[in-house]
Structure 1
Amino acid sequence: MKKLGLFVIAIGFMACQSENKSSNTADTANLATSTDSLTFKYDSVKVYSKTPVSINKTVTDTSKAVISYPLFNDEKINQFIESKIKLTADSGKNYKTYNDYASDFIKGYDDFKKSEKDYPQTWFLDIKAKVVTQKPGYLSLLNTYVNYAGGAHPNSIFTYINYNPVTHQEILLDSLIQPGSMIKLTAIAEKIFRKNEKLSATASLKDGYFFEKDTFKLNDNFTITDQGLMFLYNPYEIKAYVYGTTELVIPFSELKEIAKPNSLLSHTN
């Protein structure tokens, strides 16, 4: 099992301003081209609060919201990605644009500071959607959502987005496996999980894990790698926050009787 560490980044801001602009830095501006002629570049929206964190004029820190995302030459793909990114909003609001999303977060901070003038910290929202796999018939992105609005640490959510750029449909797990095979897939995954965690086949999952009713369960947060079908559990999902994310890979060799023929999980694909 591979664990991704979580790092809290202290961000200092030198100016109080609001902006909505494209990002053209060296690590994001390069065009990426795939065999199915899709191209994309990374773009971003950035909104800063005009409310300083301190009445001391020498302290210029303020809150910031940044949303970075790939912009494809196919508008249908862009619309799908935008809809999935905006689902990570925890306000329950229906944002029309990335800028609306970022601006609402900053508005929340500004409204909070009106009643809590002595509050000493800034807030930040950092959302980054990154293309991890791009091939004919399959596009996978990892959407990283980090939100800090007070408290002991930021809230972090890592979500895979799977899409078929040919049919313009989201790829769901049920579309990749044989009907009625979820129980078998779960059993295979549990064996791998217990091996990774150094647990016996009968060891209870109550101690140190958050599985409901002491029963192992797969989630729907997955991607397809060169090694096989990988699931990702977020902080707090099955373990304490300190353990970060948990990855579980099911090799293609274990999916022979489960994968649908000619699917992304089959060896003949």
Structure 2
Amino acid sequence: MKKLGLFIIAIGFIACQSENKTSNTTDTTSVVTTGDSLTFKYDSVKVYSKTPVSVDKNVTDTSKAVISYPLFNDEKVNQFVETKIKLTADSGKNYKTYNEYATDFIKGYDDFRKSEKDYPQTWFLDINAKVVKQKPGYLSLLNTYVNYSGGAHPNSVFIYLNYNPATHQEILLDSLIQPGSLPKLTAVAEKIFRKNEKLSPTASLKDGYFFDKDTFKLNDNFTITDQGLMFLYNPYEIKAYAYGKTELVIPFSELKEIAKPNSLLSPAN
């Protein structure tokens, strides 16, 4: 399928809200969520540019970078989440910490303003990782990445992270389905996709969709919900920008001959 780097979606704003803070900050919430042996609280890193968007002293808008994430009592889980969040960086740099990631984004803005002093807009980076599912042997998070550094609208991507906190391993799709069953899973998914899109079984995907060779394909962006196995296609991944993201749920009842026995794809688990 066609990919355009970071997929794009309108977020409903194209500039930062007014902020009077202009220094690096780290915020920690007091909310603690528990489940099995894991506990976590949400933490965040915020870095603000000291360069205002306007020379007018009455205008205090400035660029900011915010990274919010769950902080677990298990350091191995934290390392997994942090690594995955930092992989969303489109700079190709290997950041050691969240703060380094956020600081580098602001540095990019400050460097840009040195040569473009009349640039009328702020930049922002907003990364938000949230726990969406927690049960024995399964932790699912949704990492939302939103970036604006000029242009008509922000860049955005939504990525599910799946992890087994007992074995400290990332959960991949292949580990959940029978060997060689991906074609069958894809066929089931395509049937549901066509129904959702109001397409006939033989309608071409050439018009209006971005699948490679006009052939339906599953990606590796999934989570396990109470209803079944859900895949998420990002904006611009398979459809035009205006359609936003696309979610596709395959019910557990359709996975009986596809899922590995006693896997997470069994509703009893």
Please give the range of the TM-score, normalised by the shorter of the 2 chains: over 0.9
Q: Distance in 1 between matches of 2:65 and 2:47?
A: 5
The C-alpha deviation readout for 1:19-67, integer Å capped at 9, x for no partner, is: 231233xxxx311111x22100000000000011111111111000000
1:228-243 paired onto structure 2 within 5 Å: 228-243=228-243
Which residue is 1:56 aligned to? 56
The answer to whether 1:32 aligns with 2:33 is yes
1:68-98 superposed Cα distances (whole Å, 9 cap, x missing partner) = 0000000100010000000000000000000
Whether the 8 Å contact between 2:14 and 2:153 is mirrored in structure 1 is: no
CA distance in 2, matches of 1:177, 1:248: 17
**Equivalenced residues, count:** 261
Map Cα deviations across residues 199-229 of structure 1 (whole Å, 9 max, x no partner). 0001011111111111000000000000000
Map 1:161-240 to 2 at 5 A.
161-240=161-240
Q: Compare relative contact order (CA 8 Å, sep 6+) and give the higher one, 1 or 2.
A: 2
Map of 1:21 onto structure 2:
26
Percent identity between the aligned chains?
82
Kindly report which structure 2 residues correspond to 1:83-162, keeping only aligned pairs within 5 A, or say none.
83-162=83-162
1:65 is aligned with what amino acid?
A: A
State how far apart, in whole Å, the 2-side matches of 1:138 and 1:49 are: 38
- Residues 87-142 of structure 1: CA distance to partner in whole angstroms, max 9, x if unpaired? 00000000000000000000000000000000000000000000000111000000
CA deviation after TM superposition for structure 1 residue 194, in Å:
0.1
Give the TM-score normalised by the residue count of structure 2: 0.94
Distance 1:23 1:9, change over 3 A: farther
How far apart, in 1, do the equivalents of 2:11 and 2:49 lie?
A: 25
CA distance in 2, matches of 1:6, 1:53: 21
Q: Quick one: distance in 2 between partners of 1:147 and 1:222?
A: 22
> Who is 1:8 aligned against?
13
Corresponding residue SS for 2:223: strand
Residue 268 of structure 1 deviates from its aligned partner by 4.5
Counterpart of 2:157 in 1: which secondary structure? strand
In 1: Cα distance, 2:22 partner to 2:267 partner: 52
What stretches of structure 1 of length at least 5 have no aligned partner? none
CA contact (8 A) 2:32 2:41 kept: yes
In structure 2, C-alpha distance between the alignment counterparts of 1:218 and 1:229, rounded to whole Å:
12
Larger strand share, 1 or 2: 2
Taking structure 1 as the reference length, what is the TM-score of the superposition? 0.94
Q: Secondary structure at the match of 1:43?
A: strand
Moved over 4 A (4+): none
What letter matches 1:123 in structure 2? W
Q: In structure 2, the residue corresponding to 1:50 is in which secondary structure? A: strand
Shift in Å, 1:174 = 0.2
Q: Confirm or deny: 8 A CA contact 1:162 1:223 kept in the other structure.
A: yes
